[in-house]
Chain A
Amino acid sequence: MNTESETAKSRKAVSEAVVGQFSWGLMILFVLVSACWVLLPYTGYQFTAMVFLMVIVLAGTRWNRGPVLAMAVVSALVWNFFFIPPQFTLHIDKPQDMIMFALFFVVALSMGHLITRLREREAAVEQYHAEREQLLEAKHRAELLAESERLHRTLLDSVSHELKTPIAIIRTALDGLGQGNAYAGEIETANLRLQRIVENFLEMTRVESEALVPRPDWCEISDVLHGATAPLKRELGERRLRVSGAEELPLLMLDSRLLAQVLGNVLHNATLYAPGGSEIEIHMVLENGILEMRVRDHGQGLALGVEDHLFDKFYRAPDSPAGGTGLGLAIARGLMWAMKGDIEARNHPEGGAEFTLSLPVKTRQA
């Protein structure tokens, strides 16, 4: 598409240039003819032919083939008509003039042709070199990028492995201890918190490294809901989730893992502020190809001026309980942006905070 329109544009530019060259050529010939006409008694008509040839050669070094060949033809005819005796006819008397005319014609045409062809070849070679250089540069850049991404990934993998292994060991050991020990319960809570912190840091790094590429696929919204709520059973506790609008949704083209993570982070944030036993509402609408998910809790709502910083990295609201990293919502926004969507927060008119995730999606009726 793009290159086609560019070619069309450059073609247009060339044709405009050619029209310009035709008119310039005519003008120059007119001036030359007038000058040579004035000088004719002193120089003789053969001199005029040489002047014309020179102009054609010079034009050939700058202009396109069409105008140059036209100049050659026009100047030959003009020379014949105005300068070769008998003047003001295309008739030629002397045989040597006839030969002169024929030679002029041939020389002018072939000079024009040769020079423009030479120039075209030069331009092609130049373009070839420029393109080659561009390609090499692009390749080099791609290689550097791939290499840095690979390093990044390796580092992330090994840090991830080193940090998660002890957490996994603690988890398994705690399972072995069994339920009912209050001290073990505290360790478990702390371990889960540690796990969340580590995961958040790793995820934030991933979001910021731009190594994160969404992989959209057809999915049902129930997959997203399940993916978001299943890991949060413990945090949700006795808070009730009320989901509306999910039934009417068609199949959606989106990265369900990423969206589930965003929704999970927003829900986790809500559990920190919504009192136990209250309701957290998730409402979904699909309008004009935009999927909107509104998550509303019945907590205190957002403090004044908090909205602007809520999604900043490491930002912690003044009333936020201890234990957060200030990364959950920053990650949520990073992921939404990576998916070309957005996330906003405001206070619901009837109290409580309301987060709105919006995401452009393709749909398909199941």
Chain B
Amino acid sequence: MSKALIIDDEQQMRRLLRMVLESRGYEVCEAAEGQLGLQEAAFQRPDVVLLDLGLPGNGGMDVLKRLREWSDVPVLILSVRDREAVKVEALEAGADDYVTKPFGTAELLARLTVIQRRRFTRQSVEIGAGGVTINLLHHEARLHDEVMKLTPIEFALLRVLLEFSGRIVTQNQIIKRVWAGQSSDPSEGLRVHINHLRKKLGVTGPRIVNEPGIGYRLEVG
């Protein structure tokens, strides 16, 4: 059974989230403010944290940064703000994904499942999702068992998207992995390569969804 920690200052929201999560078999603990949240995270050792970015002051972001100093637990950001810069800041400070309030329960649960899965992708030579697999040993990508012809950059791009599959990955995170060590700004090139990769994935492959101002998400299943 997974254990979830909810850090949100709205009592009603906590109560509702508890009901939703408990009905899905989660064990739930909660905290109404940042400091208590950090203590709970240390004592209860949750498998996943739901963190409200709108805690009083700059609360949510502070909790996230302090949590990341010692913990690797998957964090889902809950936010009513729809300003992209704040989300990007949270994602680059170590959050795994976000949902914007008001969110649907189905969306919330799907995101939770995906971010809890993320640890295991690194341990195999093959990464796959939505009909696409890449083999890191043979440096080969297949779409429905047919070998895809990819340039090295497209391969690296697909690899990042697959590693994050279902999760948002920011533009900076992609650039850091695919164009590591390059000094020129490759963001324009990124669009072009995404465009090519989308064409090669076609309608049968997974969809690369752009979330404007934030990054990309590989939609699977």
- Interface residues, chain A, with chain B CB atoms under 8 Å away: 157, 160-161, 164-165, 167-173, 175-176, 195, 215, 217-220, 222-223, 226-227, 251, 255-257, 260, 364, 366
Contact = CB atoms under 8 A, between A and B. Distances in A.
Given A169-B16, A172-B20, A256-B210, 8 more contacts: A161-B81, A168-B80, A168-B103, A171-B103, A172-B17, A217-B187, A217-B191, A257-B212
Given A172-B102, A176-B20, A165 B210 contact: no
Nearest to A250: B195
- Pairs A-B, 3 closest by C-beta atoms: A257-B212, A168-B102, A175-B105
Given A168-B102, A217-B187, A255 B212 contact: yes
Contact of B191 (A173, A251, A257, A260): A251
A173 B10 CA distance: 14
B192 A165 contact: no
A195 B212 CA distance: 21
A176 B19 contact: yes
Contacts of B59: none
B125 to A, nearest CB: 32
Nearest to B171: A217
B180 to A, nearest CB: 21
Contacts of B210: 219-220, 223, 226-227, 256
A175 B19 CA distance: 11
A160 B210 CA distance: 25
A164 B188 contact: no
Nearest to B109: A175
29 contacts: A157-B81, A161-B54, A164-B101, A165-B13, A167-B102, A171-B102, A171-B103, A172-B17, A172-B102, A172-B105, A175-B20, A175-B105, A176-B23, A215-B213, A217-B212, A217-B213, A218-B188, A218-B192, A219-B191, A219-B210, A220-B191, A220-B194, A220-B195, A220-B210, A257-B84, A257-B213, A364-B188, A364-B192, A366-B192
Given A157-B81, A165-B10, A218 B20 contact: no
B182 interface: no
Nearest to A158: B54
Contacts of A161: 54, 80-81
A160 to B, nearest CB: 6
Contacts of B194: 220
B123 interface: no
B103 A251 contact: no
Interface residues of B, number: 30
Nearest to A218: B191
A202 to B, nearest CB: 9
Taking each of B13, B106, B195, B198, which has the highest tally of chain A beta carbons within 10 Å of its own beta carbon? Answer: B195
B25 interface: no
A164 B13 CA distance: 12
A165 B191 contact: no
B37 to A, nearest CB: 18
Contact of B12 (A169, A256, A364): A169
B42 interface: no
Interface string B1-39: 000000000101100110110010000000000000000
Contacts of A170: 102
Contacts of B19: 176
Contact of A260 (B16, B106, B198, B212): B212
Contacts of B149: none
Contact of A227 (B20, B106, B212): B212
A280 B80 CA distance: 32
B192 A251 contact: yes
A218 B54 CA distance: 31
Contacts of B209: 226
A176 B105 CA distance: 8
Taking each of A169, A215, A227, which has the highest tally of chain B beta carbons within 10 Å of its own beta carbon? Answer: A169
A117 B213 CA distance: 58
A164 B191 contact: no
A168 B54 CA distance: 13
B104 interface: yes
B117 interface: no
Given A171-B104, A175-B104, A366-B195, A223 B212 contact: yes
B196 interface: yes
Contacts of A220: 191, 194-195, 198, 210
Nearest to A153: B83
Contact of B106 (A175, A218, A223): A175
A307 B220 CA distance: 44
Contacts of A168: 13, 80, 101-103
B192 to A, nearest CB: 5
A161 B100 CA distance: 11
B101 A251 contact: no
Interface in B175-190: 187-188
A168 B192 CA distance: 37
Interface in B72-97: 80-81, 84
A137 B212 CA distance: 37
Nearest to A174: B105
Taking each of B13, B194, B212, which has the highest tally of chain A beta carbons within 10 Å of its own beta carbon? Answer: B212
A366 B196 contact: yes
Interface in B41-88: 54, 80-81, 84
